[in-house]
Homo-oligomer: A and B are copies of this chain.
Amino acid sequence: MRVPCPVPRNRFHAPPDYRDHRKHAPDLLPEELLDEANAALLSSGQFQEPDIKSRCVTLSTFRQGTEPADRAFVHATLQILDGRDQAVRKQLGELVVNAISEMVRPGAAGQTVQVTVNVVEMERATFSKQIIGG
């Protein structure tokens, strides 16, 4: 799962380090967001625990629309091996969007935050995996 985050303000130009993040979304720690998302996905019973790998990419350069409005977004991509039916895929996406939405707070009064989740199937027949060490 890839989660470009965390919820920066729309015209936020400062470097994307932790301190800057804290100023604008003091209640959100990216690590905690991933913890919640991983726990939600594990609860679905669809995945083995070590296979749930998530990452959060803080965006340093982004734009939303063309207006100078103060708004923000968190977009997650949930990549799963193919073979699950559409109802299950939809349910998995909702688990993630709910986990994120419960943790996200607007960075300022009046700010709107879009939280979106795109579910993408990975082709199992051509997927490769190797385990090193252990």
Tell me, rounded to whole Å, the shortest Cβ–Cβ distance linking A125 to chain B. Answer: 6
Would you call A56 and B62 a contact (CB within 8 A)?
A: yes
- Interface 0/1 of A14-57, CB less than 8 Å to B: 01010000000000001100110011001000000111111111
Number of identical monomers bound together in the oligomeric complex: 3
CB under 8 Å from chain B, chain A span 60-82? 60-67, 69, 71, 73, 75, 79
| A interface residues, tally (CB under 8 Å) | 70
Which one, B113, B125, B132, contacts A131 given CB within 8 A? B113
Neighbouring B residues of A75 by C-beta, 8 Å: 53
7 tightest A-B contacts by CB? Answer: A106-B133, A112-B134, A97-B128, A34-B63, A56-B61, A55-B62, A113-B132
